[in-house]
Amino acid sequence: MSAAQPDAIRKQHYEAAKLAKRLRHQVGQAVADFNMIEGGDKVMVCLSGGKDSYTLLDILLSLQAKAPVRFELIAVNLDQKQPGFPEHVLPEYLTARGVPFHIIEQDTYSTVTRVIPEGKTMCSLCSRLRRGALYHWAAANGITKIALGHHRDDILGTFFLNLFYQAQLKAMPPKLRSDDGRHVVIRPLAYCKEADIAEYAEARAFPIIPCNLCGSQENLQRKAVKRMMEDWEKTQPGRAENIFRALGNVSPSQLADRNLFDFAALGAREGVARAEAHQWLAGSPEEP
């Protein structure tokens, strides 16, 4: 071993510790900012076997040990019966970590492959079926919070997809109530960059299960947005972070959504604004 090797190893350990500390701080900050976890919560961590959900579980476990409130964590995976899915990987990992877990077995794979034409992306339908199965289990088992592994770049990517292709200013909120009102969904990785998560997952040597077993691919729109954001990171560092911060710094009166701000009520005289608005619809406003 050369003299330089011990220094290199020490530097590697130092950088890994610094990254872990940064991710723990970001998750802790997101949890505090959005009151994601409260005393007595039973939190279901949705574990897919990918880098994001492994990192989510790992950091929540470290925070749980030092949190000012007591809460439960249970890892839940949906075995969708894709051919070749390594069923042993997650149970062995979670057992070794001493983490309570449950595997839901539901053959959504057959449904997706029957409904979606060959060659088309399966991700959208697969996601809906997976969400339904997880919500159903959560309702039946006293879960108070459902934790998902979406990170900052997922939130930004969804924002741009909605902006470019749906004409909506909408993203993934760090915390939300499900459409049926029965579940509270949290995204503790909301402040974390995907690149940091990938580096952390590699350093922790998580047994990653790839999400390509069904042969589906990301749609072209999402891939284009991801390339755009990766280019920004190379040429305009900090741009994505500023845009993400803007999602939490919204001025409704400076946009154009009449449902968020009563533009029609802005007038020097009572009633003038609404009357003139109707005149504009009919033609030019009358002379004063």
Question: Which residues does the annotation place in the binding site for [4Fe-4S] cluster?
Answer: 123, 126, 214
Q: 261, 252 in Cβ contact below 8 A?
A: yes
Buried b (16+ CB within 10 A) or exposed e, 39-49: eebebbbbbbb
Please tell me the number of Cα atoms within 13 Å of 37 on its side-chain side.
25
Which residue shows structure tokens 């402040």? 191
For every residue of 101-128, DSSP letters joined together read EEEEE--HHHHHHHHSPTTS--HHHHHH
**What tokens does 203 get?**
């350093």
Q: Is 266 exposed, middle or buried (0-12, 13-18, 19+ CB in 10 A)?
A: exposed
Round to whole Å and give the CA distance between 285 and 288: 9
Binding-site residue positions: 123, 126, 214
Is residue 46 within a helix (H) or strand (E), and if so which, with residue range?
Answer: strand 42-46
